[in-house]
Structure 1
Amino acid sequence: MRVIALEEHMFPRDVIESAGLDFGRRASARIPQLDDLDEGRLQAMDDAGVDVQVLSALAWTVQDLAPAESADVSRTLNERLATAVARHPDRFRAFATLPMSDPLAARDELVRCVEELGFLGAMIHGQTHGVFLDDPSVRPILATAEHLGVPIYLHPAPPPPAVRATYYSGLDADVAECLSTSGWGWHSECAMHVLRMVVAGVFEELPGLELIVGHMGEGLPFHLERIEDMLTPVVKRHSLTVAETLRRNLWLTTSGYDHDAPLQCALSAFGVERILFSVDHPFASSSRATARLRSAPLTEHDRALIAHGNAEALLGIRSPQRRTA
């Protein structure tokens, strides 16, 4: 069974150092794996049975930079991604990094990455300086993605200082960092970000825009019926309900979620055709993720859709050969 993984991060060590970026204690511990785009990464993929990684820079820190610097670092990262794909064209694809503090530059970089470098879309990390993707200033980026026929992968990011101070102060530093990010905070914030886009009418204006979120839907499958009951009645003049919009425009990946209950919830809420496989390398184990994929209570047809079929349909990933290893 072919396996395509969509949320697989990278970041060259020398770019981190030259740009003076701070990844925090937990992410900094993964820099050796983020920096590796050759033997070590390929070995981890082979050991787990992952055929293709769609690479993306772990770039929330880049979005926080001043516009000119963000544009320079984004371009550097995209060139590194393109080089890695060129070295291993059967194993890697890429999502672009965009300088979100300059929306017009981000739009132009998305066009360059898709049309010149062959990228499959872009990954955006949460809000940028308080600006969410429903803001009118960001609409040129989203409209361009729709026009190009490529998705936006919306990845969580650490909370802005005001949110951190309000919700996570007074705790042990390690606990606060985890609670505000992977332990809870960024899942709820990413889900809220998606709902902002829905209620603000982004998908009414851009009905062909495809949005991907990870972590089995960032809690949206569990809350979907409650959201529909409470939120839809107050959203006026939309052609679809909130749940109908989400089921039309949103895709979910399994990144970091290797348990049956969240998978069954996502299947029930969104259907197997909207679920894609991801690992969240190097923050999760590729071997554990693929082992869980192979043992999950799914029909073989549904397993194949999640493993590769849905990604092939959404991203146009094709391979003339199939690995036997």
Structure 2
Amino acid sequence: MRVIAIEEHWTTPELDQTLRARPAGARDESVALNDRGDIPARLLDIGTERVQAMDAAGVDVQILSLAPPGTHGLPVREAVALSRAANDRAGEAVQRHPDRLRAMTALPMSDPDAALAELRRTADVPGHVGIMSYGRCGDRLLDDPAYDEVLATAAALRRPVFIHPQIPPNAVREASYSGFGPALDLGLATFGWGWHIEAGVAALRLVLRGTFDRHPDLQIVLGHWGELLLFWLDRADRLSDLAPRLRRRVCEYFATNIHVATSGMLAPRLLRHALDHTSADRILLSGDYPFHRIEAAAVADLLHTLPEEDQHKIAHANAEKLYGLAPASSGSDLQEAGTRQR
């Protein structure tokens, strides 16, 4: 069975160095989580060694995405230059491996106008099929009206927006995620809890802001099985009663505009739980490489209880549809895109 993994991380040496050189208080401390084992080397590679790792894991296609925090929160000039360089480098990697790689676009969200310009520029960069974003850039939230044209353009270009978790603001970290020592504080604020609250709240705010009423073609993806929000949907749906301007109830947008991805968490019990709240049509496989290393056997164990049609949807067909990827039997979507551009 074909396997497409949609949230597979990488970075550039220049971006990594810039993030680490930020002054205390402005530096995203979650970058330290990139330093474990062989993760640093794997993050920097989007060439032959990555493809070999894909072969070993039984992954046919990876969609590359900059590792957190991407260029979010950087000063405008640095964010623009580093986003552009990363997008071009990802496009070059796709051209070298057209049957194996695609890419999510990094946007310099420090400046909404610059983010819009980069999104439009990369509309013609081969292999860019989606957007990797976060729920906040500095103090500006993704549902801020300043980003509305960016989201409208993403919808028009059919570019799904992956809302990745990010570390909470310093004030929130101090109030809710401190007091246990540096390592545990960081873990609690990131992968243990805080990351997922941040991403889930960002998606919920987009719904409550009426974003999907204004832009019904906009599609977003939440990793980690919906960033806790999917499993709390019955409760969150009660917000519908306080939001009379919404055209539908909160839960209904999960059937039309919101997808969930596995992010390397391949426990069958999570799949069963997710299917209580959404359908197999809106679940995507993601490995969260290189922070997780999925294996073909684990993918099979996750899917084997489903009907064959649903297995294919989650393994590859949903990604093909959402990201405009050609099925394996019909040739390269990259070649088709190039033909349309000419």
TM-score under structure 2 normalisation?
Answer: 0.89
Secondary structure at the residue paired with 2:221?
A: strand
Question: What pairs with 1:229-308 in structure 2 (closer than 5 Å)?
Answer: 230-287=238-295, 290-296=296-302, 297-308=305-316
Q: Which moved more, 1:23-32 or 1:64-73?
A: 23-32
Give the alignment of 1:119-130 within 5 angstroms.
119-130=128-139
Q: Partner of 1:123: helix, strand, or coil? A: strand
Report the AA paired with residue 301 of structure 1: E
Q: Name the residue aligned to 1:313.
A: 321
Q: For residues 68 and 40 of structure 1, what CA distance do their matches in structure 2 show?
A: 32
Between 271-280 and 238-247, report the one with greater CA deviation.
Answer: 238-247
Question: Are the aligned partners of 2:72 and 2:79 in contact in 1 as well (CA < 8 Å)?
Answer: yes
Q: Which digits, 9 at most, give the CA deviation of each residue in 1:25-45, with x for residues without a partner?
A: 221332211001123211211
Q: Take 1:237 and 1:125, find their aligned partners in 2: how far apart are those partners?
A: 25
Equivalent runs, 1:17-96 vs 2, <5 Å: 17=17, 20=21, 24-29=31-36, 30-96=39-105
Q: Conserved in 2, the CA contact under 8 Å of 1:13 and 1:31?
A: no
Contact 2:9/2:289, CA 8 A, preserved across alignment:
yes
Hey, what's the Cα distance between the residues in 1 that align with 2:142 and 2:18?
29
* Alpha-carbon offset, residue 118 of structure 1: 3.8
- Cα deviations by residue, 1:235-279 (Å, 9 ceiling, x for unpaired): 112211000012210011111211122211111211000001000
SS at match of 2:78: helix
Provide, for residues 95-124 of structure 1, a one-character-per-residue CA deviation record: whole Å limited to 9, x for no partner. Answer: 000000111110111111122334102100
For 2:89 and 2:12, the matched residues in 1 are separated by 8
CA distance in 2, matches of 1:175, 1:291: 32
Query: How many Å separate the matches in 2 of 1:137 and 1:308?
Result: 34
Mapping of 1:189-204 within 5 angstroms?
A: 189-204=198-213
Q: Runs of 5+ in structure 1 lacking a partner?
A: none
**3-state SS of paired residue (2:120):** helix
- Distance in 2 (alpha carbons) for counterparts of 1:14 and 1:100: 18
Question: Is it true that 1:208 corresponds to 2:234 in the alignment?
Answer: no
Structure 2 unaligned spans of 5+: 332-342
Q: 1:285 to 1:320 in 2, by over 3 A?
A: closer
How far apart are the structure 2 equivalents of 1:118 and 1:27? 26
Answer whether contact 1:2 1:322 (CA < 8 A) is retained: no
Counterpart residue type for residue 25 of structure 1? A
Task: Report the equivalent of 2:153.
Answer: 144
Report the number of matched residues. Answer: 320
Equivalent pair of 2:142/2:206 in contact (CA under 8 Å): yes
Distance verdict in 2 for CA 1:207–1:285, change over 3 Å: same
> In the TM superposition, what is the alpha-carbon distance from 1:59 to its structure 2 partner?
4.5
- Structure 1, residues 123-172: CA drift from partner, whole Å, max 9, x if none? 00231012111100011110100111111111011111111111112112
Distance 1:92 1:159, change over 3 A: same
Please state whether the residue corresponding to 1:101 is helix, strand or coil.
coil
Superimposed CA distance per residue, residues 179-238 of structure 1 (whole angstroms, 9 cap, x where no aligned partner): 11111111112111111111111111111100011111111221111212x211111122
Residues 321 and 298 of structure 1: CA distance in aligned 2, closer, same or farther (over 3 Å): same
Aligned equivalent of 1:105: 114
- 1:63 deviation in Å? 1.1
Cα distance in 2 for residues equivalent to 1:7 and 1:177: 22
Q: Percent identity?
A: 39
Report the 3-state secondary structure (helix = DSSP H, G, I; strand = E; otherwise coil) of the residue aligned with 1:62.
Answer: coil
Q: Displaced runs of 4+ in structure 1, greater than 4 A?
A: 319-323
Equivalent-residue separation in structure 1 for 2:171 and 2:285 (angstroms): 34
1:173, CA displacement in angstroms? 1.1
- Cα contact 1:45–1:286 (8 A) shared by 2: no
- Structure 1 residue 70, shift from structure 2 partner: 0.5
Q: How well do the aligned residues superpose, as a CA RMSD in angstroms?
A: 1.8
